[in-house]
Amino acid sequence: MFRFENIAAFNYLWLIPAIIVIGFFFDRRSRKQMQEAIGSRLYPFLSSSVSSKKRKIKTTLQVLAVFFFVLALARPQMGESQQEVKSEGVEIIFAVDVSESMMAEDVKPSRLAQAKVELSRLIDLMPGNKVGVVAFAGSAALLSPLTNDPGAIKMYLESLEPSSVSSQGTNFTDALKTAKEAFERGGVSTDEVVKVTRVILIASDGEDHEQGALDEAQKMAKEGIRIFTLAYGTEKGGAIPVRDGMGFLKGYKKDRQGQTVLTTVKGDALRALAEAGQGSFYFATFGGDQTKLLVEDIGKLERTQFDSTVATQYEERFQTFLLIGIILALLELFLGERRAGFRFWKGRYEVPPS
């Protein structure tokens, strides 16, 4: 079977008539300018050394070179083979804390912004997995069901804001329950034969957590759902900025007594949650090694085959057309325009060209 992979490349064939028209236009204009400069009687004598036949050959070589370059760009393919491609990985839910405390700037540009960057980086480091996104604070909401489309996941991560949920606070229990529902609705069906490795990755500063999260984590661990946690922020803490609709800083959040609220990371709470969920706890540092460690730990888990597809592969044949185009272009480059055997006139004597 013969086919072209890149049909759009044939749009460049307009260069061929353009070369012909432009060449004709400039040749005619230069001839007219020379006739005006030296006179119509002297022009035929001075231009007699130029071979119009060779000029036509050079134009033909240019046209053919462009034609074969376009054919090579269209990627001609011949022959085909079929190969089974298997998709394997684990099902992961990113549960991201979008409470107001995650807007603190004790890490730059903010805790939430850092989490977005690190989680997007995780997507690139863990290809083949099915990933979903849950936003949580005082309540939880599923933003993206499980999918193996990394572009879609990054888009949902980038959209995370405190307004992604209806109430503030930090309720880990709701986040865990929402993540579990996402597995049940969009994940691979499990039975006595099929076992799916499932992971909930919680990215949070751990503040103001509700009771009952540890019991829920232990229950999920017995069902085969592992819980990993990433802590964002510093123990020193930072103020929560308040911005206007244009994003300009108006001040910092204050309590009822008018004092600036300082929010600190609660690593112990996140560590306990990971231990209850038979996972691991990581203290996030921007550009640190914790991301690689997390990838290694998840990589040790048993991978599940999600689906398999048959991919058809074609053998590329563009190399031949590209080589022909290069040869024609080189021939055009080295081909002169002088007539063969022409003798220049110098004074009273004719001499061969040097």
Q: What pLDDT does 228 receive?
A: 93
pLDDT band at 149 (very low <50, low <70, confident <90, very high): confident
**206 in Cβ contact with 95 (< 8 Å):** no
The model's pLDDT over 44-96, given as tens digits with 9 standing for 90+, comes to 655 666 667 777 888 889 899 999 999 999 988 887 666 654 556 788 999 99
Domain ranges of the chain: 2-80+314-351, 91-302
Cis peptide before 109 (omega within 30 of 0): yes
Bridge-based pairing state of the strands 198-204 and 140-147: unpaired
Query: Could you give the CA distance from residue 69 to residue 319 in angstroms, rounded to a whole number?
Result: 10
Asked whether residue 131 carries a pLDDT value surpassing 80, the answer given is: yes
Task: Describe the strand order of the beta sheet including 76-89 as a list of residue ranges.
Answer: 2-4, 76-89, 304-316
Q: How many other C-beta atoms can be found within 10 angstroms of the C-beta atom of residue 45?
A: 10
User: Cα dist. 324→69, 163, 320 in Å?
Assistant: 8, 60, 6
**Cα 258–Cα 270–Cα 143 angle in degrees, nearest 5:** 85
User: Cα dist. 70→14, 64, 78 in Å?
Assistant: 10, 10, 17
Maximum CA extent, the chain? 112
Q: What pLDDT does 303 receive?
A: 63
Asked whether residue 171 carries a pLDDT value surpassing 90, the answer given is: no
Q: Mean pLDDT lowest for which of 162-166, 179-183, 228-232, 240-244?
A: 240-244
Share of the chain above pLDDT 90, in %: 21
Q: What pLDDT does 192 receive?
A: 44
pTM of the model: 0.60
Architecture of domain 91-302: 3-Layer(aba) Sandwich (3.40)
Q: What pLDDT does 85 receive?
A: 47
pLDDT band at 166 (very low <50, low <70, confident <90, very high): confident
The model's pLDDT over 224-267, given as tens digits with 9 standing for 90+, comes to 899 999 998 887 888 878 777 676 777 777 777 777 777 788 88
Q: What pLDDT does 39 receive?
A: 65
Q: What average pLDDT does this structure show over 128-140?
A: 89
Query: Could you give the CA distance from residue 31 to residue 40 in angstroms, rounded to a whole number?
Result: 10
Phi/psi for 132 (5° steps) reads -130, 165
Q: What pLDDT does 191 receive?
A: 46
Burial class (CB in 10 A: 0-12, 13-18, 19+), 143: buried
Asked whether residue 129 carries a pLDDT value surpassing 90, the answer given is: no
Q: What pLDDT does 193 receive?
A: 44
Tell which wins on pLDDT, 2 or 115: 115
Tell which wins on pLDDT, 25 or 312: 25
Asked whether residue 10 carries a pLDDT value surpassing 60, the answer given is: yes
The model's pLDDT over 270-329, given as tens digits with 9 standing for 90+, comes to 899 999 999 999 888 755 677 788 888 888 876 655 555 555 677 888 899 999 999 999
Q: What pLDDT does 200 receive?
A: 94
Q: What average pLDDT does this structure show over 155-169?
A: 88
For 233, half-sphere exposure in the C-beta direction (CA atoms, 13 angstrom radius) is 28
At position 313, the amino acid (one-letter code) is Q
